[in-house]
Amino acid sequence: MKSPSRLVVCIAVLGALHLGVACAGFFAPYDPAAQDRAHPYAPPMRPHFVDAQGSFHLLPFFYAQELRAGSFDQYEENRARAIPVQFFVTGASYHVLGVLPLRMHLFGGGDAPLYLLGSDEYGRDLLSRISVGGQVSLLAGLIGAGLTLSIGLCIGTVAGFLGGWKDEVLMRIAELFLALPWIYLLFAMRAFLPLTVPPLKAFLLVVMVIAAVGWARPARMVRGIVLSARERDFVRAARGFGASNGYLLRRHILPETASVVLTQAAILVPQFVVAEMTLSFLGLGVPEPVPSWGNMLASLQHYNVLVSYWWMYLPAVAMVPFFLGYLVLASLLQGGDRTSKMDEALGEI
Amino acid sequence: MSERTAGWVLKGTALAAILGCVLSSRSTASFPAQANPKEEFLRVSGDIGRPGGRIVIALRSEPKTLNPLISPDATSREVISTMQADLVHINRATQLTEPALAKSWKVSTDGLQYTLTLRQGLKFSDGQPVDVEDVLFTFRVYLDEAVHATQRDLLIVDGKPIVVRKVDAQTVTVALAKPYGVGERLFDGLAILPRHLLETAYKEGKLAQAGGLGTAPNQWAGLGPFRLKEYVAGQRLVLERNPYYWKTDERGNRLPYLDEIVFLFVPSADAQVVRFQSGETDIISRLGAENFSVLSRQAGNYRMVDAGPGLEYNFLFFNLNELGEKAPAEMARKQNWFRSEKFRQAVSLAIDREAIVRLVYQGRGAALWGPVTPGNPRWVNAAIAHPARSLDKSRQLLAEVGFKLTSGESGEPRLVDADGKSVEFSIVTSASNADRAKMATLIQDDLKQLGMRVQVVPLELRSLIDRVMQTKEYDACVLGIASYDADPNPELNVWLSSGGMHLWNPSEKRPATDWEAEIDRLMEQQLTATNVAQRKKFYDRVQEILAERQPMIFLASPDILVGAKKSIGNFHPAVLEPYVLWNVEQLYQRNGAENARR
């Protein structure tokens, strides 16, 4: 009784997180590509509640940051210039869910730049980049996992259900794919793409490649379950009553694989997010100025960034709730008596 | 701190330039009293050092070769410069020539013949004496087409190779077909080779393969301050003191001071910084501005020096190659834009160079409007205009050649050409060079404000070079060139339309435009002009044409940023290569105790 409610909480939290990222343009105060060249590597602004006159503000306000004279990355607060937080301001245009154009942002600093999480080497707002960058990274995870699972499910089912030499051939191919060093395959793929492919298209192609390479593991798991389900008494009985292969698969065998597929999905999504991040980290993912968590973290490859600007680690922090959510989901789906729990979970949803 | 240091270096240069003249004329005649009278030393000024000890330096890559005939990369050049010597040498600090293996030289009045007198008692690092035959052998090898020496082109004057003749055991004459503008600078960088070790290889036609890193130390010799001791593949190259070196300090002590130089192979710039910080290496050079500020900020047992702008210039250029029939229609359309001078001028006007210097180099660099950097005061054309960034003027220029500003789907500005096609192109840049990738990203944003849609494509360096030089499949590219000498001549193959490094349109059969033809003429004229003022006039005009026609849109030049442990004496970095090792024979370890521990 307890577990399903935890499952619901987990799914609700994940859903909220995803919805937030889908509407990133609204929560992000700025265009993620907009450069503010007067404020490179600005640290996160500190919220203040008590102003210079000593009066208390319920809503926090900020002081403008200005470069220290003669320095290129050292800032000090200008106490003479307070920035109140304004809500529902009009700013850079963006698209909600990729379709609905809007200009309204949850908050902003008016004329003065407001960098809650600091800025990067071009003076781009990190909060905006992290939230919009999440769209790319998570989309890669979801599309990649979806594709991989569909391929894996088809191949695993065919292999497990038909058996014989077909099974042998398919499983040997799967082993081949397991042994392939996919990162080199991706390097090769990326090198073949022409220069002029728009960044997002190139990126989707790459995601498809990861998916096409990653099907082997889910396929083997599905095959195992199909293989055992095929020999169950009720399946044999159904076959005895003259059920067709299609009916058997649809009605008796595929439902058996549901728990494995769902668990795999919960494991694969973060895995593919990591794959995207790895590629972008190596400069093979989405190019500048489109943000993704991976290409944001790529700046940490430079020693000076690593030791000087701690806020550049924040994209790594941003992915923690997502990964945690997916992993908790996976363990909830996997734990205990699978079928009954799955039924309950599905029933509650 | 940086300004102060730069000022010091500049003042020092002027002072040293004067000193250099005095010294060079004096040193040719000076005999160190206590030395063997048969040996004519070159006495150099500087702090009197302490003999012994060693320094450790990290190299970005393993040198490809120790053979000065085929030194293709900066790392090899750096190592070779510590092992070889030339007849006449350009002092990296004063940028003036001074006597080296030749103790003196004379130029005939018509400028066609140089007479060089060798020092007496010179010995190679294996103890074999040097004589005129070695010099003759050296020039024969450099001039032999079959050897493919990189320096050969510089020895061909007016299409004819120079002729070197023996006069007596100490003297040679060098005859030129035409007066040569560079004068005795010609001899800098031409390492005198040991005939006794290389003649067999030369006769067998295997000279290019000689001098690999695996060469046994007793099979390799030079006239530089250090000689080969040990090479461990993938780890280090150890050089030891050449006991026969021909320079002394002012007290007559034979140089070099150090017993050993250890070159460690540390492939990444960041790893080099960490090693330097931990004290594993003594000297660090070729630093990026960001790592330089990290090291400057964390006070340590080292001194960081901003030597001022170097000779490296970074630029953006468009693909102006004649692609002929095979070119896709889209490329032809793009080239129509790129070929328009006003388009290129508009792009140049829209680029925020000040932001590049500030964001890419953290202010440790200089904005550029021409290929000659402020680090090269003798050749820079000060009259070249430095137009401030102006998007308005830029838009105006674009409008003059038929581009129109419209607005895109979500209201962003979009530039279309006369046929209504939107202006989109990609800029390729080297993925391994973070500075240039950053420049490209800044330019991308600058051009967005003109309504151009630019994609930045970081490529692995080799495939980038392949695209620019071979397949010519690119739209625009951000690259940089770092010349090893302040003189315009090493740049010949960049500016001559037939040059292989004429990047926007390499190796043209005949000049594609009138102004390229004019540059060709001017570069030839400066080559044979006899005095510097005249050469400068021609080269000034070249710079003017480049600034006007903008085949390359010059962006910025980084400062030479280096550092050394405080214990290293005579550390005077220069803005010419090799930045920190040019006076390696004078470097010494101050602190004996610390050194003994290692």
Cross-chain CB nearest to B426 (options A37, A195, A304): A195
Mean pLDDT confidence for B392-415 = 88
Instruction: Assess contact for B307 and B575: CB atoms under 8 A.
Output: yes
pLDDT of residue B357: 94
Determine the residue of chain A that is closest to B330 in CA distance: A196
Helix (H) or strand (E) holding A236: helix A233-240
pLDDT in tens, A100-130: 888 888 888 777 888 999 999 999 999 999 9
Closest CA to B17 of B107, B97, B101: B97
Say if A196 is an interface residue toward chain B (CB within 8 Å): yes
Under an 8 A CB cutoff, do A303 and B428 touch? no
pLDDT in tens, B518-535: 999 999 888 888 788 999
Residue A56 pairs with which residues in a beta bridge? A50
Is pLDDT at B580 greater than 50 in this prediction?
yes
Instruction: Give the C-alpha separation, A10 to A332, whole Å.
Output: 9
pLDDT of residue B262: 96
Question: How far, CA to CA in Å, does B445 sit from each of A289, B451, B554?
Answer: 9, 10, 17
Say if A99 is an interface residue toward chain B (CB within 8 Å): no
Interface of A with B in 30-59 (CB under 8 A): 33, 35, 37, 40
Other CB atoms within a 10 A radius of the CB of residue A143 amount to 18
- Max alpha carbon distance in chain B (Å)? 85
Residue B173 pairs with which residues in a beta bridge? B115, B165
Instruction: Assess contact for A181 and A242: CB atoms under 8 A.
Output: no
pLDDT of residue B54: 92
Under an 8 A CB cutoff, do B294 and A307 touch? yes
Is pLDDT at B30 greater than 80 in this prediction?
no
pLDDT of residue B592: 57
Other CB atoms within a 10 A radius of the CB of residue B484 amount to 17
Instruction: Give the C-alpha separation, A343 to A56, whole Å.
Output: 54
Say if A199 is an interface residue toward chain B (CB within 8 Å): yes
Q: Helix/strand/coil (H, E, C) string of B36-71? A: CCCCCCEECCCCCCCCCCEEEEEECCCCCCCCHHHC
ipTM value, please give it. 0.81
pLDDT in tens, A29-64: 998 888 999 899 999 998 888 887 888 888 888 888
Instruction: Give the C-alpha separation, B164 to B354, whole Å.
Output: 50
Mean pLDDT confidence for B275-286 = 93
Q: Which of A146-150, A275-279, B502-506, B510-514 has the lowest mean pLDDT?
A: A275-279
Q: How far apart are the CA of B291 and the nearest CA of chain A, in angstroms?
A: 5
Q: Which three-class secondary structure state does DSSP give residue B563?
A: strand
Mean pLDDT confidence for A171-197 = 77
pLDDT of residue A199: 67
Closest CA to B373 of B543, B551, B562: B543
Q: Is residue B234 exposed (0-12), middle (13-18) or buried (19+ Cβ within 10 Å)? A: exposed
Alpha-carbon A115 to chain mean position = 23
pLDDT of residue B23: 34
Closest CA to B129 of B218, B35, B244: B244
Q: Which of B76-85, B100-109, B322-331 has the lowest mean pLDDT?
A: B322-331
Please give the residue that has the higher pLDDT: either B299 or B163.
B163
Parallel, antiparallel, or unpaired for β B88-90 and B424-430?
Answer: unpaired
pLDDT band at B74 (very low <50, low <70, confident <90, very high): confident
Is pLDDT at B561 greater than 60 in this prediction?
yes
Closest CA to B107 of B79, B88, B93: B88
pLDDT band at B390 (very low <50, low <70, confident <90, very high): very high
Under an 8 A CB cutoff, do A101 and B410 touch? yes
Is pLDDT at B392 greater than 90 in this prediction?
yes
Cross-chain CB nearest to B411 (options A37, A93, A305): A93
Is pLDDT at B551 greater than 90 in this prediction?
yes
pLDDT > 70: percent of chain B: 92
Is pLDDT at B13 greater than 60 in this prediction?
no
Under an 8 A CB cutoff, do B358 and A121 touch? no
Tokens of B145: 């087409």
Instruction: Assess contact for A182 and A190: CB atoms under 8 A.
Output: no
Structure pTM?
Answer: 0.82
Please give the residue that has the higher pLDDT: either A288 or A31.
A31
Say if B410 is an interface residue toward chain A (CB within 8 Å): yes
pLDDT band at B99 (very low <50, low <70, confident <90, very high): very high
pLDDT of residue B381: 94
Eight-state DSSP code of residue B371: S
Q: Which of A66-70, B2-6, B195-199, B363-367 has the lowest mean pLDDT?
A: B2-6
Tokens of A15: 């859903």
pLDDT of residue B1: 38
Q: Which three-class secondary structure state does DSSP give residue B472?
A: coil
Please give the residue that has the higher pLDDT: either B327 or B20.
B327
Determine the residue of chain A that is closest to B353 in CA distance: A37
Residue B165 pairs with which residues in a beta bridge? B173
pLDDT band at B413 (very low <50, low <70, confident <90, very high): confident
Chain A residues within 8 A of B273 when measuring between CB atoms = 303
Is pLDDT at A178 greater than 70 in this prediction?
yes
Count CA atoms within 13 Å of residue A180 on its CB side: 21
pLDDT in tens, A313-344: 999 999 899 999 998 988 888 775 444 444 55
Tokens of B517: 């033809």
pLDDT of residue A195: 62
Instruction: Assess contact for B141 and B234: CB atoms under 8 A.
Output: no
pLDDT of residue A275: 83
For residue B279, which phi and psi values (nearest 5 degrees)? 85, 5
Is pLDDT at B106 greater than 90 in this prediction?
yes
Q: Is the dihedral of CA B547, B551, B555, B556 positive or negative?
A: negative
pLDDT > 90: percent of chain B: 61
Tokens of B179: 């007066």
Under an 8 A CB cutoff, do A40 and B359 touch? yes
Other CB atoms within a 10 A radius of the CB of residue B212 amount to 12
Under an 8 A CB cutoff, do B359 and A95 touch? no
pLDDT of residue B448: 92
Residues ≥6 apart with Cβ < 8 Å to A64: A77, A78, A81, A82, A83, A112, A113
